[in-house]
Structure 1
Amino acid sequence: MKMTYRPKKIVEAFEYNKKWDEWARQGNWSPIGWRWVEAARGHRLDQLSSTNYLVIQRPHASVYHHSYGMISKFFKGLLEKKLYGTKCPKCGLTFCPPRAHCWNPGCGLQETEWVELPLRGEVHTFSIMAFSATPFLKTLPFILAYVRVEGCCTTVPTRLTNINPWEVYPGLKVNIHFVDSTKGDIMDLYCTPAETPDPSKCMMTAEGIERLKNDMRKVRDWVVRKFGEEAKPSVNI
């Protein structure tokens, strides 16, 4: 039986390119080619060895058609360059990313209410990315920060820019921004420092900072070799 999602009414739409329908039908998951390659192995960039790997080409394509359900307002807000969260009317906890029901055990899955949030927050934790999924390789290295939006009890994963990686620390105040062309996706958000970093809160030693700089240069050199000089890192190195 073929099942098709049919909404009662389309209120507003941005139509996707119909070519993706045909593209999705081409994937059959069977390998069509392979390479036996020599590449690096190791858990630190300054302690690498060489080994061999089998790399295969395996077509796989899917076009996902899905709803954001009860948290749709959050993603619609991103399209409108507004940041929304949800607040529990019982305990007052505010969630961003939103939760349709309160996760406080004492609230018995109380349904939450929508609130607009300020574009301010602070770094809860972060990673300095030297590797990533394919769509983000051109922008390596970059800082992935988990930001607690002001007034919220959960954190949002987002990029942190306009700061050296070794200057970041938990508690750093940040401003939250939207990209120019929003798509209703979490990648519509990024953040920048809202204050001058405090060197006394730096989590790295001088030796660690120097090693990090060297690692970032190696990553940058790899990106340039693979994608050309037009590829730009998101952090200063």
Structure 2
Amino acid sequence: MTLIPFFRQSLAALGVLSLACLSSAHAQVEIIEPAGDFQFGKVAVHSSATQTLKVANRGPSPMQLGSVISSIAAVSPLCTGIGCGVVIATDFTIPAESDGCSNTLLQPGAVCSALVRFTPSGPGQRGSQLNVFKPNAAYVYRGLGGTGVSQPLDCVLDWAEKAFPQLLTTPTMTSSAAPYHLRCYAKGAICVGADVDNPTDGPRFDQPSVYVYDAQAEPPLQRLDYLSSLSRLAQCQ
């Protein structure tokens, strides 16, 4: 008998046991709000939005909860490349002053609640996973999702898409490709973006500008105008 089939059988048996333990924990401790994953929608970068988490004890005995945390442990990146979602647990927090669930002894039929805060640290789609732990390492969870909006750039890009619908088709979400915040179109053939105020390679001596990257052009990267000028043209607030 080789070792590989033996390990496969052992892992399968452990998987069944783990599922049984988790099913028992899930049956007693249940997230009742939200019904599905957290969806925070569009939030300005460095601003915040909150939603409520509610956890109920559906079992006949008290249940000791562990921490409620945002974790990337069980989350994979949505895709790779420019315009993809970014998995960042630190953009999703549970403020200590509003956390009524962590390390709580939840009585039968009782419900605890906590506020979950989304503060995007950059533009584009962000994601993570919220875990409500028990001391024995079982947990219940919800996905966390939201989009960081970079103003006024997102407003300018939204306006440009409406002004040039034949050119700017099938957009990706706004994302970062240092030192630019950008959005790409036509499967990456053309990208529009603006440089940031404080890039990692040092301060800029001019104000942020909007650029177009066109793989077919020469040179491929061309400056359009100042971001502030295009913001006025697009009537961004």
- Decide: shared fold, TM above 0.5: no
Q: Which has the larger radius of gyration?
A: 2
What is the TM-score of this pair, normalised by structure 1? 0.24
Structure number with greater CO (CA < 8 Å, separation at least 6) is 2
Greater strand proportion: 2
What is the TM-score of this pair, normalised by structure 2? 0.24
